[in-house]
Structure 1
Amino acid sequence: MLMLPAVLTHAQVGATLRLFRETLDRAAAAGSGEAAMLTVDGSTLEQFDSSALAVLLECQRMARVKGRAFSVQSLPKKLQELARLYGVDGLLQSV
């Protein structure tokens, strides 16, 4: 599971994606199975901009490339609303 940082704006994108990539690689190295669920948890997210949506979509893409299932949980209501506004809320559904 990847816990999103409290702040996720453009400045944190690179570090957050690196952390997800490392989490994904560790899961693969542990041999947790091809269908293992990789979850991103947004419960600690307090300050964000639209970059947070880009991070979530890229995390989903990276998981799919590795053949992993992906889910998002506990996103702040305002980020869910932003996803709806941009029309990407359906893309962030658990797969």
Structure 2
Amino acid sequence: MIEREGGRLAVKVPLTMANARGLLEAGRVALQPGEQVFDFSAVNEADSSAIAVMLGWLRAAEPSNSTVKFAHIPAGVRSLAELYGVTELLPLA
């Protein structure tokens, strides 16, 4: 689901409701102290559950002494973040 590639956490499956619970847990497990960049460049499908997963990773980062950023957020997810008014909560890499 998530693979560490060149200092980034590459998301390799669709960011959809069907994968949300697994992605949330995989991201939590992958967190290490320091800056973690979740890279969505391989994601070809996403729905509104992506926002919940991303916010969940941000919440999980604090206790693990991590700082989370996001790279290559799919356009549809960006639009949803704007619609929901949470764009400023999603730090970009």
Say whether the fold is shared (TM-score over 0.5).
yes
Structure with higher Rg: it is 1
- Deviations 1:61-91, CA, capped at 9 Å, x for gaps: 1012222111111112221111101111110
1:14 pairs, out of 21, 28, 37, with: 21
Q: Looking at both structures, which has the greater relative contact order when contacts are Cα pairs under 8 Å and sequence separation is at least 6?
A: 1
More strand by share: 2
Task: Give unpaired runs (5+ residues) of structure 2.
Answer: 1-7
More helix by share: 1
The alignment's C-alpha RMSD in Å is: 1.7
- Deviations 1:6-52, CA, capped at 9 Å, x for gaps: 4121110111112112212xx3xxxxxx4x10111111111111100
After the TM superposition, list the runs of 4 or more consecutive aligned residues in structure 1 that deviate by more than 2 angstroms. none
- Aligned partner of residue 47 in structure 1, secondary structure: coil
How does the TM-score come out when normalised to structure 1?
Answer: 0.79
Task: Give unpaired runs (5+ residues) of structure 1.
Answer: 28-33
